[in-house]
Amino acid sequence: MNEKKIVEAFIRGFSKPLILWLICHKPMHGYNLIKEFKQITGKRLKPAVIYPFLHKLEEKGYIVGTWMIRGKRKIKSYEVTQKGRTLLISVKSHFKLPIKNIILGLLSSEGMK
């Protein structure tokens, strides 16, 4: 496995919690999420990844979607529910010590020897 694929796999692992985190900050539709994800990670989130995940979150009650008309297009905007906020808190709790220190070490130059 080359370096590019390893980096992509690492980012893919964080994509789903990041999607929920983004929706917690403000209601968003799929295209907004793709743009925000790219801005944060530098990687493009594929529609084949995001839309099935959004549908699953909605089906389980973690987010709620509302159809809106924008110009001539019909788009679905997603907003987090209280159940979704609770899920995100649970996910965040898994990023406590020592995993948090490992991630911070990965992000800093001090983690390199």
Q: pLDDT per residue over 14-32, tens digit each?
A: 889 999 999 999 999 999 9
Alpha-carbon Rg for the chain in angstroms: 16
Model pTM? 0.79
Q: Hey, what domains does the chain have and what are their CATH numbers? A: 3-111 (1.10.10.10)
The residues pairing with 63 across neighbouring beta strands, listed in sequence order, are 80
Q: What are the pLDDT digits (tens) for 52-108?
A: 999 999 999 999 999 999 899 999 999 999 999 999 999 888 777 666 677 677 667
Secondary structure class of 86 (helix, strand, coil): helix
Q: How far is CA 107 from CA 3, 55, 80, 100, in A?
A: 17, 32, 28, 11
Measured CA to CA, the distance from residue 91 to residue 68 in angstroms comes to: 30
